[in-house]
Structure 1
Amino acid sequence: MHGYVQRIKEKELHNALSRSPAVAILGPRQSGKSTTAKMLLKDIPSVYLDLQDRVDRNKLSEPELFFDRYRDKVICLDEIQLLPEFFSILRSEIDKDRKPGRFLILGSASRDLIKQSTESLAGRIAYIDLTPFIVNEVANISIWSDIWLRGGFPESALAENDMDSFDWRLDFIRTFMERDIPNLGFNIPVQIIERLWLLLAHYHGQTVNYHKLAAAADISIPTLKKYLGILEQTYMVRLLPPAETNLKKRLIKSPKIYLRDSGILHALLDIEAYDSLLANPVAGASWEGFVIENIITEYDRWKPSFVRTSNGAEIDLILE
């Protein structure tokens, strides 16, 4: 049994709570947001509400009374994307009392996906992404090859064995398609998102050919771009843009696509064990994506991109 794993974003979170009325921790479901928030607040007077829980949601039926009752505590609201209309209420409350660290909100969607809801909080909220584990966070309790195979989701990375980890990831994929996507308000048939996700696993590390990918998925190019946007905004895929450069050489203009978590990639490709991974043709692209994701997560204030010329010369990752 593993104890709490310290996250590289903890110092940044403490600093944000000390200066901003509201702090949002955003990241994919099961990436450790709730655990990190509870550890962050364990020595701070606070109250925690899980908005997936009906009883907790009902406590906010009269928000002004609730806020007055807990005015001297940090109010932590988990799964905030389920109540997008609540952001305007938060704005009114913060404008009454702008002291730092009033609200800690957790969401399983990116700031772009909830941007319309959070526009009313401009200047009042700090955003911090908390992704699954990277190698440096678990170096003392796990070896890098396990994290590459299993990915960084805590329950997968720290499972007792590879089979338990693999089963957890299959359940995660199924739940994401059947529950999480609809809960975010998107009406996408499960069969289509499943087919697209599997296709993306085979395209991992390649530049995006929208015509070819849309044809393979049996959807239109606008629909493909819409679905890719949803997967990107829910932290499942990364569209790495080509670098903006003044070089006169002919450069590839399309983004490269990666499944952000190597463990999810391997589950989609039915790769259960490390030996099977090394023997699989996808190993090189998988390793490339794994390293890139670790670097971008560690240095997330830098703008990532890549360069590839039409004759095949390439720089996999540029940080500016």
Structure 2
Amino acid sequence: MADYAPRVVDALLDELQPHLAATSIYGPKGVGKTATARRRATSVLKLDDELDLERVRADPTVITSLSAPLLIDEWQRYPASWDRVRRAVDDGAEPGRFLLTGSSTPRGVSVHSGAGRIVGLRMRPMSLYERRIAEPTVSLSAMLAGRAAIDGETDLVLGDYVEEIVSSGFPGIRSAPRRARSSLMRAYIETIVQREFPEQGYPVRRPESLLGWLAAYAAAESSTARYSEILDAATPAQGDKPAKTTTIAYRDALSALWLLDPTPAWVAEGSLLGRLGQAPKHHLADPALAAHLLQLDTDALLAGSRNARRPWGGSILGALFESLVTLDVKVFASNVEARVYHARDRNGLHEVDLVVQGAGGRVVALEVKLTATIQDTDVKHLLWLKDRLGDDVVDMAVVTTGRYAYRRSDGVAVIPAALLRP
């Protein structure tokens, strides 16, 4: 696989796979799970292939008889394969024996959680770092350790970031020409609605209602809008709106397919911050999905949508840029077992876009700004958090579309998005 683009999760697999009997790589379709896993496998069972699926159904013992490491690709096509692997681990399977990849767990199918036997690693669409569009210089893991060097320069400007938003982090889509990318993205969404939802046990009687809800969710990207508000936005002139149970089913199915990737609200220990909001920030798995659902391409975003306001505040381009940076940070944080949150007080006076919490409660606070230059007002929420939490906040930064990475006199780093790395 000479054209394989190394992924951040590879380093984690290098570290963990030799010591784990079974490892599961999960995430939405098209993120590259199979390509990553196949490089590590000696034998492969592709359960989305009818011949391999029939082979396993006819003789499930093939799962434990093939040469290791064995990759069971799209294991959810035969859910019993998960339990067979789990039992093999219980029976003493050697380290590195199994790799499983999948993009969902079918609704109503009972499988053992695998806790303690099968270790799961989430794979997301490609970060900017994995897309190799610049030479990144600022390490998130070093920031969490409190010893990051903040320097570097990039030639990328706003238009480049907009192109990356619409190009997507799905390897098979982003490598295509612009017109083909649009067709592939449309086909991806149609497959979700027409095939993946029914396979999940969620028959879609009114595809247009689901697509309308998806578009409204896309418009709520990077916001904490209530689901009732998203439904109202999806059906502004409809008297017979989909029932709440229907929209909950949409959310549950999309979550099961790993196509929703909300950022949870941070619950800080103690009362130094006062009462914080509890609502998650909405994110689709890839901001390109949101852009396509809203029928926004590079030209449309640059021509005027940057300033288009949303019911939930902010511009849609600002929301999509924040979503792009959030994707990057989540990819990097998972590599060092850190968690990503957002923080907002109940009064809405203070909000920090991203709170990365690592071992020992160490916190890196990040603001995302669709601008090349930073003003004092852009860092006030970061300084508020630092003032309240003191040394627990080991670093602060504003992530921008600018050219240079540098440290301000107040201690806040300014980092172009393309210069951030794991």
- TM interval, shorter chain, is 0.7 to 0.9
Show the counterpart of 2:124: 131
Deviations 1:291-310 (A, max 9, x none): 11111111122222212232
Deviations 1:199-218 (A, max 9, x none): 11111122122332334452
Deviations 1:85-138 (A, max 9, x none): 33222233333342112111110137x98995242x322211111111111012
Does the 8 Å contact 1:149/1:277 carry over to 2? no
| 2-structure distance, mates of 1:304, 1:164 | 34
From 318, 330, 334, give the equivalent of 1:284: 318
Structure in which a larger fraction of residues adopt helix: 1
| 1-structure distance, mates of 2:224, 2:36 | 35
Show the counterpart of 2:299: 275
Report the Cα offset of residue 220 of structure 1.
Answer: 3.6
Any stretches of 5+ residues in structure 2 without a counterpart? 136-155, 235-240, 309-315, 358-422
Show the counterpart of 1:54: 50
- Code of the residue aligned with 1:268 in structure 2: it is L
| 2-structure distance, mates of 1:165, 1:233 | 25
Q: Taking structure 1 as reference, are residues 97 and 152 closer, same or farther at Cα in structure 2, changes over 3 Å only?
A: same
Does the 8 Å contact 1:305/1:319 carry over to 2? yes
| 2-structure distance, mates of 1:22, 1:8 | 19
Does the 8 Å contact 1:133/1:154 carry over to 2? yes
Does the 8 Å contact 2:72/2:99 carry over to 1? yes
From 298, 306, 313, give the equivalent of 2:342: 306
Figure out how many residues of one structure are paired with residues of the other and give that number: 309
TM-score under structure 1 length normalisation = 0.87
- Code of the residue aligned with 2:329 in structure 1: it is I
- Code of the residue aligned with 1:91 in structure 2: it is R
Does the 8 Å contact 2:222/2:320 carry over to 1? yes
Show the counterpart of 2:352: 315
Q: Taking structure 1 as reference, are residues 312 and 163 closer, same or farther at Cα in structure 2, changes over 3 Å only?
A: farther
From 196, 201, 206, give the equivalent of 2:223: 206
Over the aligned positions, Cα root-mean-square deviation in angstroms equals 2.6
Correspondence 1:189-200 to 2 at 5 A: 189=205, 190-200=207-217
Q: Taking structure 1 as reference, are residues 247 and 233 closer, same or farther at Cα in structure 2, changes over 3 Å only?
A: farther
Any stretches of 5+ residues in structure 1 without a counterpart? none
From 84, 91, 95, give the equivalent of 2:86: 91
| 2-structure distance, mates of 1:55, 1:271 | 41
Q: Taking structure 1 as reference, are residues 254 and 248 closer, same or farther at Cα in structure 2, changes over 3 Å only?
A: same
Correspondence 1:1-320 to 2 at 5 A: 3-41=3-41, 46-60=42-56, 61-64=58-61, 66-67=62-63, 69-70=65-66, 72-109=67-104, 117-119=111-113, 121-140=114-133, 145=161, 146-159=163-176, 161-189=177-205, 190-217=207-234, 218-245=241-268, 246-247=271-272, 249=274, 251-272=276-297, 274-278=298-302, 279-280=304-305, 281=308, 282-300=316-334, 301-309=337-345, 310-320=347-357
- Code of the residue aligned with 1:148 in structure 2: it is I
Report the identity percentage. 24
- Code of the residue aligned with 1:31 in structure 2: it is V
Does the 8 Å contact 2:107/2:201 carry over to 1? no
SS at match of 1:106: strand
Does the 8 Å contact 1:241/1:254 carry over to 2? yes
| 1-structure distance, mates of 2:348, 2:69 | 56
| 2-structure distance, mates of 1:141, 1:106 | 30
Report the Cα offset of residue 249 of structure 1.
Answer: 4.5
| Structure of larger gyration radius | 2
Does the 8 Å contact 2:18/2:95 carry over to 1? yes
Does the 8 Å contact 1:205/1:286 carry over to 2? yes
Show the counterpart of 2:368: none
Return 236-245 or 279-288, whichever deviates more. 236-245
Does the 8 Å contact 1:74/1:104 carry over to 2? yes
Does the 8 Å contact 1:16/1:126 carry over to 2? no
SS at match of 2:282: strand
Does the 8 Å contact 1:75/1:102 carry over to 2? yes
Q: Taking structure 1 as reference, are residues 295 and 101 closer, same or farther at Cα in structure 2, changes over 3 Å only?
A: same
Q: Taking structure 1 as reference, are residues 141 and 241 closer, same or farther at Cα in structure 2, changes over 3 Å only?
A: closer
| 2-structure distance, mates of 1:312, 1:89 | 52
| 2-structure distance, mates of 1:224, 1:254 | 18
Show the counterpart of 2:416: none
Does the 8 Å contact 1:81/1:184 carry over to 2? no
Return 290-299 or 275-284, whichever deviates more. 275-284
